[in-house]
Chains A and B, each alone.
Chain A
Amino acid sequence: MNDESGQKYPAKPDDFPEMEAWERDMADVLKKSEPPPLAPEKMEALLATLRPMVAARREESTPNLSKTAGRMDFGEFIRLVRGQASLLERPFWMVMGLIMAGNLALLASNILQPLITTLFLALPLVGGISIVYSLHGSRGGMWEIEQASPAGLQRIFASRLTLMFVLQLLLALPVLVSYGAQAGVLVLARMVLAWLAPTVALSGMILFLFSYWGEWPSVGITVLVWGSLILFGASRAGFIGFAEMVLARIVFNPLLPLLAVLGLAAGLAFGALGLRRLASGRSSWS
């Protein structure tokens, strides 16, 4: 091996047999040279310079604990909602995207417009199923981390349901706006009720069933119930063009406001019972 001067020097350990002896020899000799001492005042002055920098590191990395234990402000809640969105997988977003695209395409197309009312009638079911889906990320380890967190299960569920509700509203919006623009504010308000009440009712029901029996039974029963109602309405309407007929019957039914209130109340009550059961950990799922 050559070093920088170009002279050849052996590089393997055994090729410096005398080095060990030289090191011992030189160790005592070299120790005779001492540096001028560093004055204690200078050491202390240097430490004094460094202490504030260390303190700054301490401050930048300590969370504000009083904040984590008190009321949650709006900004924090939004961050929590965004966090819930990150738990939803790509297939979910694709399905949402497809439904939205379907909505818009059908609205734009005159020929297929009747289909849009069919889609609209299915939206409450989509809402309920998406709520069950949103809970499936919280299992096992993640569920325990959520339980042990300062955010708390109640706020986590609230943020999750908020996210789902906003997404469902976005899905329903094209139809609501389109029909409302054509038929006026009163019809729009009735259509909103016709969408909101079944959505909340089905969501509450599915949550309640989920807290007892888990995913598939809750989804299955809810699909059965809503499907049966639609089919019943369809049979009364003669099946052909049934969707528009069913929707018209719902929207222009004089009992709609009362039924909507009942549906909302039932949905909220069952939903709350289901959430409480989930939060207490007594459910079949946790």
Chain B
Amino acid sequence: MDPLPDETLFARLMKGDEEALETLFARYAPPLYGFLWRLTSDQALAEDLLQEVFIRLVNYAGKPPLYFRAWLYTIARNLAYSSLRAHGREQAHRAYSVAESDEVLKDTTQNLPEKVILSRDNEERVRQSLERLPDEQREVVLLRFYQGLSLEEIAAVVEVSLGTVKSRLYRALRLLRGMLLREEMKENER
């Protein structure tokens, strides 16, 4: 039998169905945790935020969302940013601002090869590069590549137009590619 859609499970959860809770939790706790970790760069904070997201979910008393997944990520994202602001961190501290990222973009995207192939220390390099993206670009990349959301869903989660999502993704990818390839070239020169 096909797995039940999220909206059905959520509606059952609202009526006190424990099995629906367990299914939704198994489905979304790991990817949500990954999203929160990558967004905040803080494991402990990510765990706390994950708990907070699910507590809000279970106690929700409003009109059921039409599109559960996008709505869930919206809650997670908003909680993450509120928490970062409460801790006095406007951005993950290593991230570029949008203006800084423009400078980096100009610097890194000249004469780059077509394909990004990384040799070693991949995980660390990728993580660091992601952290350097401005928040607004990083969240789009996270939602697209790690959470598998469509561009339309991402637009709903971050509450901007589809065009803005595409533009942010475009710049993020250029920047990422540029940073990663530049690092790789430096590595090869050594």
Contacts and interface: CB of A to CB of B under 8 A. Distances in A.
The yes or no verdict on A and B being binding partners is yes
Interface of A: 1, 3-5, 7, 9-13, 16, 19, 22-23, 25-27, 29-36, 38, 42-43, 46-47, 49-51, 53-62
B145 A30 contact: yes
A22 B21 contact: no
Nearest to A9: B167
Given A50-B55, A61-B16, A1 B30 contact: no
Contact of B173 (A9, A22, A54): A22
A35 B170 contact: no
Nearest to B130: A33
Interface string B137-177: 00001001110000000000000000110111111011011
The interface residues of chain B, by DSSP majority, are classed as: helix
B8 interface: no
A22 to B, nearest CB: 5
7 contacts: A9-B170, A22-B177, A23-B144, A47-B21, A54-B21, A55-B18, A58-B16
The interface residues of chain A, by DSSP majority, are classed as: helix
Contact of B102 (A7, A32, A42): A7
B59 interface: yes
Closest 5 CB pairs of A and B: A58-B16, A11-B163, A57-B16, A33-B126, A35-B37
B100 to A, nearest CB: 10
B72 interface: no
Interface size class, chain B: 35 or more
B67 interface: no
Given A1-B167, A38-B33, A58-B17, 12 more contacts: A5-B98, A9-B171, A13-B166, A19-B170, A26-B145, A29-B122, A29-B180, A43-B29, A46-B25, A47-B22, A57-B13, A57-B15
Nearest to B173: A22
B50 interface: yes
Contacts of A62: 16
